[in-house]
Amino acid sequence: MASGKRWIVTTSGDQSLDDIQKSLSKSGFAIDQVLGEIGCITGSASDDVAKKLRGMPGVADVSAELSIDIGPPDAPVTW
């Protein structure tokens, strides 16, 4: 996987996921997972690449993937 920030790409549904995947890869987005059932693709890229992806046909949104840690089961505080 390429270095950079982790992103979630939400597709618009007006193009096939295969076509969008190819376009994302050509633009420098390192694809990690394709979640076809919900129309999302996860992966990593630089901020500049993510900005470019937002204007691509078939892409509805590009958002940073946030890390969540709820801690161990017996922890008194989880947030």
Q: 16 has which bridge partners?
A: none
pLDDT band at 2 (very low <50, low <70, confident <90, very high): very low
Contact 19, 39 (CB under 8 A): no
pLDDT digits (tens, 9 = 90+) for 32-74: 999 999 999 999 999 999 999 999 999 999 999 998 877 788 8
Going from N- to C-terminal start, the domains of the chain cover: 5-64
The DSSP secondary-structure symbol of 30 reads E
> What is the structure's pLDDT at 78?
62
Fold of 5-64: Alpha-Beta Plaits (3.30.70)
* Tokens 């190819």, located at residue: 22
